[in-house]
Chain A
Amino acid sequence: MIPAAFDYVRAGSAEEAISLIGEYGEDAKFIAGGHSLLPLMKLRLAQPTVLVDIGRISDLSYIRDAGDHIAIGAMTRHMDVETSPVLAEHAPLLAHAASHVGDPQVRHRGTIGGSIAHSDSASDLPATTLAMGATYVAQGPGGTREIAAADFFQGFLQTALAPDELLTEIRVPKMGGAGWSFQKFNRRAQDWAIVGVAAWRRNGESGVGLVNMGSTPILATSVSAALSSGASIAEAAELAAAEADPQNDLNASPEYRVHLAKVLVRRALEQASA
């Protein structure tokens, strides 16, 4: 419960953060809210030698209407996502999902960028933004690039970000008029989901993201495909785990997770269609 020794530097801007991480190299890490990184460090599962603190880069904390999408700065805290009037209007699914992250302390410290960069398949916002068809903006020494959520999550805690790239913005399409649902199944309110489902439907289109159903957040494309070819909700929900590869842990066996995914996807689609 005591981390190994490390050095600490604070970045004042995105550019400075990127140059610092380049300077310290491999064993350096960004720290945003610290709510995923510090627990790993305390268990000594992560032992970075330098932490580059991006927590004070206030330029990266915003939620803006950008025409066809909403732009969210990577340093925006879960609590600000949860309570944003802009998101309430244009992307209520995301705001609602954020309200289910951990407990109020976690939501006041943790950031949307940290959650997505960390890419824990058990976290709520990676799967939710994936379901929504989000685009992530990364900035590195050579400039910025956009990465589609569908291309971002590459393996267990692995993303398309290069070590010296900073995630700066999350862009979610406006979803006004869509039906949506976020189903989080857990044992205690503050816990990660045993299985979670983020779903939306609009005019024959749909998106379904699964939380904690594999080594990455999962996009349940079979469900959406079935729906668009006229399957009933119950039929489509049976395909919930087609793309998944769920793990075994103290809370659930893989079989139980598959079963839960089917039940929760069905419930989510029913709610999104109501």
Chain B
Amino acid sequence: MTMTEPAASTVLGKRRLRKEDPALLTGEAKFTSDLNIPGALHLAVLRSPYAHARIRSVDVSAALQLPGVVAAYSGADLAPLWAGPMPCAWPVTADMKNPTHHPLAVSKAAYVGDGVACVLATSDAAARDALEAIEVDYEPLPAVVDLEDALSDRVVIHDELGTNRSYTWELKCEGADGQVERAFADAAYTVSEHYVHQRLIPMAMEPRAVAAVPQPFGGDITLYSSTQVPHILKVMTALTLGIPEHQMRVVAPAVGGGFGAKLNVYAEELLCTALARKHKVPVRWTEERTENTQATIHGRAQRQHIELAADADGKLTAVRVRLLADMGAYLQLVTPGIPLLGAFLYGGVYDLPVAYDFSCTSVFTTLTPTDAYRGAGRPEATYAIERAMDALADQIGIDPLELRRRNFIKKDQFPYTAMTGLVYDSGDHDAAATMAAELADYDGLRARQATQNVDGATKRLGIGVCSYFEMCGLAPSRVLASLNYSAGGWEAATVRVLPTNKIQVVTGTAPHGQGHETAWSMIVAEKMGVDPDDVDVLHSDTAIAPLGLDTYGSRSLPVGGVAIAMACDKVIDKAKKIAAHQLEANEDDLEFAGGTFSVKGTPDRSMPLAAVAFEAFTAHNLPDGLEPNLEAQVTYDPPNFSWPFGTHICVVEVDTETGDVDVLKYVAVDDCGNQVNPLIVEGQVHGGVIQGLAQALFEEAVFDEDGNPKTSTLAEYLVPAASDVPPITLGHTITPSPTNPLGVKGIGEAGTIGAAPAVINAIVDALSGLGVTDVPMPASPHTVWKTIHAAQSASSAQGVSK
């Protein structure tokens, strides 16, 4: 596709404050739990205190006696309400094991937080108090917390499956048979590294909230939910509950963050909807923070084994990866697919022969289900290759940035067909790395490091590099089909010029903090020559925006935003016909600029879009056969993913006496192609980097051996605050995507992908003189301290002094 952007854009690429913010900052924006719904009953869910237990009986009778309680149900009571099990839309292999999963467990609870009974009451407090009166007779069973233990089938969690193994998915790409084996046999250097991605809790600022409002006589039902996926939720709720889809409407009001955790279909959404229909009154539920840490999906939770083979120059010749992934207790909407999203990125940004061997085995544990969390599979993949590149550089004895440069796919190799068969549309890794190195003063830091990290130094400097590619903009529908994903990857947009030349945009994206209203207005403003404030963006209500596939996987701009630009082009085409008719000119002689059609060479013969819009509305004098009104709809299915990339550099000082890590500097150079609003890009990178840094240094969902969560409040689950993160220096290179007419790429996940490996590489670099070769995440002071001690006692045991 060709670039249709005018050379000098007037709106695109300019920093612009978000139009969403005044309402959000003043509290005017309404979140689901702010909605005033007269007569609503409140749902509370009784959750299993055991990670694994048979449910012998549930007695709700005492709860029913309490003031305000309207109904109470066990899982068995509600079983007749489900037309189908809770959906998993990604059966990655034909033989994938998927346990039946209902909104309330019937015979067995499989994680702490699994719903086993529920109450409807006239207030939230009454409903929650009544939970304490429900008697459940549990037979506790042994928990399965460790992935190797799960694999051993010592305890089988889902009896009907006979195993804890859900699937093994393989991707072997070889230019010639046996190429991977031969590459390892012939390699001058090999590394074999094991890494663990701890479980993370996505922890959106707004926990989930649901309200289902039925029309008992009209038959329709509206589901309000704090969700990223109102469209997917509508289809899935209709299917799971047997509701005719045309009677189902889903609205996502203001949504306070999702990070992938609200890309799902949850038990409480189905419970509220089913019970609202049953009781013929609205039913609502608001998640508590502790509930959120147990009943909303977790992320990461993978164990990785990556092996690299390289020739004498350090050029990579093969990559082999074995993953063990923790599904948690059940498969939620896209749980099994998360490792696959990373499977294509274990070769990183490097020019590799077709010699790749990937396999992922996924197992059930008695823990909260995992699913998409910012980056979803791609941070894991990038972490593995970028940590392993440092291990390789260490072995060869060259600078890690130099090793990367030797292996980068070069600018002139794009479009580049990767070993996996995917085509990377564009990139310039060397430019991004060079800019990052300059911003960080890489050479100066290395010099300082040489003088600082002397024997006995207790404050050691470390520099960590991560170069990444992000596969995002999900996605070409055909590629999704080849991965057995049950839906497509298109996005829909409608652009409508109102009679007074104000513009309405209807998008299928579902923003929950990303600033789509601002960004989409800017795209339309640029295209149509209007002010961004004259554009209104309608979204997240399936009655207003019936077509869409929602917001996740950094897809909204490269798919949904592009659809809007294309719809603008369609509107302009139609408007041009009207203008030509009115100006009595040939359509081909008209040009459109600054919101006005004019005859080329005769600028005084012109007609502003406003006048065209009014003509289209009155329809008094339109060309023969042309329909009134100015409106166009586009459904865009991208031909490729979008491939943002960049290099991040982290500089730390480690206090070897305490294990404390001080991040001195963080440089992020990201290339997301053309930027619509640099201010939003910066915000996305800041947030992403901090979430990646949080994985590296702070966050972990901890469980004891019985599967009891130990990090169920924000006092234990350490989400960093502004005071805990370093200033972030941002740089951008701009390599427009040749795949779409805006030349844009996603930026929502890039920071998260780049940060964790950069931080851990920096810490290991700081400690390399002490014999440390790896530090597990999160690199808490205690962990760093223990790692230093282990390395030192190992080296003194061997009589090695480093």
Contacts and interface: CB of A to CB of B under 8 A. Distances in A.
Contacts of A253: 782
Contacts of B658: 185, 260, 263-264
B782 A256 contact: yes
Interface stretch (B7-15, B491-499, B510-518, B717-725): B717-725
A189 B289 contact: no
A187 B660 CA distance: 8
A194 B718 CA distance: 13
Interface in A180-232: 185, 187-191, 194
A259 interface: yes
A80 B615 CA distance: 68
A251 B780 contact: yes
Contact of A250 (B124, B657, B710): B710
Contact of B721 (A1, A43, A188): A188
A259 B290 CA distance: 33
Contacts of B614: none
Contacts of A263: 657-658
B84 interface: no
Given A185-B658, A250-B711, A260-B658, A194 B720 contact: no
Contact of B720 (A1, A103, A188, A256): A188
A2 interface: yes
B288 interface: yes
Interface string B461-478: 000000000000000000
B711 A187 contact: no
Interface string B288-302: 111000000000000
Contacts of A103: 721, 723
A148 interface: no
B705 interface: no
Interface string B648-672: 0000000001101000000000000
Contact of B718 (A185, A188, A260): A188
Contacts of B780: 187, 251
A24 B124 CA distance: 29
B724 A188 contact: yes
Interface in A103-138: 103
B698 interface: yes
Interface residues of A, number: 20
B403 to A, nearest CB: 32
Contacts of B128: 2
B354 to A, nearest CB: 45
Contacts of A260: 658
A188 B723 CA distance: 8
Given A1-B290, A259-B785, A263-B658, A250 B702 contact: yes
Interface residues of B, number: 26
A252 interface: yes
Contacts of B721: 103, 188-190
Contacts of A188: 698, 718, 720-721, 723-724
B714 to A, nearest CB: 10
Nearest to B710: A250
Given A1-B289, A185-B660, A194 B781 contact: yes
B782 A251 contact: yes
Contacts of A1: 288-290
A256 B782 CA distance: 7
B723 A190 contact: yes
A264 B657 CA distance: 10
Nearest to A43: B713
A122 B723 CA distance: 21
Interface string A233-256: 000000000000000001111001
B759 to A, nearest CB: 14
A195 to B, nearest CB: 9
Most chain A CB within 10 A, of B128, B658, B713, B723, is at B658
A56 to B, nearest CB: 27
A10 B766 CA distance: 56
Contacts of A191: 715, 718
A259 B658 CA distance: 8
A6 B786 CA distance: 46
B716 interface: yes
Interface in B693-744: 698, 702, 710-711, 713, 715-716, 718, 720-721, 723-724
Nearest to B291: A1
B125 interface: yes
- Report whether over half of chain A's contact residues are helix, strand or loop; otherwise say mixed: loop
A255 to B, nearest CB: 10
A190 B698 CA distance: 13
Most chain B CB within 10 A, of A103, A185, A188, A260, is at A188
A187 B125 contact: no
Contacts of B702: 250
Most chain B CB within 10 A, of A187, A191, A259, is at A187
Contact of B782 (A2, A190, A252): A252
Contacts of A259: 785
Interface in B636-688: 657-658, 660
A86 to B, nearest CB: 28
Interface in B762-802: 780-782, 785-786
Contacts of B785: 256, 259
A264 B659 CA distance: 13
A257 to B, nearest CB: 9
A189 B290 contact: no
A189 B660 contact: no
A190 B723 CA distance: 8
Nearest to B785: A256
A250 B710 CA distance: 8
A187 B781 contact: yes
A187 B698 CA distance: 8
A1 B713 CA distance: 10
B290 A250 contact: no
B716 A250 contact: yes
Most chain A CB within 10 A, of B128, B289, B720, B781, is at B781
B719 to A, nearest CB: 8
A269 B724 CA distance: 26
Contacts of B289: 1
A155 B288 CA distance: 33
Contacts of B786: 256
Contacts of A187: 698, 718, 724, 780-781
A189 B723 contact: yes
Interface in A254-274: 256, 259-260, 263-264
Contacts of B715: 191
Contacts of B713: 43
B723 A2 contact: no
Nearest to A186: B781
Contacts of B716: 250
Nearest to A257: B782
A185 B710 CA distance: 21
Nearest to A262: B657
A189 B288 contact: no
Most chain A CB within 10 A, of B125, B288, B657, B698, is at B657
Nearest to A264: B658
A190 B781 CA distance: 16
A251 B700 CA distance: 11
| Shortest Cβ-Cβ A-B pairs, 5 listed | A189-B723, A1-B288, A188-B724, A263-B657, A256-B782
Given A1-B288, A185-B781, A252-B782, 15 more contacts: A1-B290, A103-B723, A187-B698, A187-B718, A187-B780, A188-B720, A190-B721, A190-B723, A191-B715, A194-B781, A251-B780, A251-B782, A253-B782, A263-B657, A264-B658
25 contacts: A1-B288, A1-B290, A103-B721, A185-B660, A185-B781, A187-B698, A187-B724, A187-B780, A187-B781, A188-B718, A188-B723, A188-B724, A189-B721, A189-B724, A190-B721, A191-B715, A191-B718, A250-B702, A250-B710, A250-B711, A251-B782, A252-B782, A256-B782, A256-B786, A260-B658
Interface of B: 124-125, 128, 288-290, 657-658, 660, 698, 702, 710-711, 713, 715-716, 718, 720-721, 723-724, 780-782, 785-786
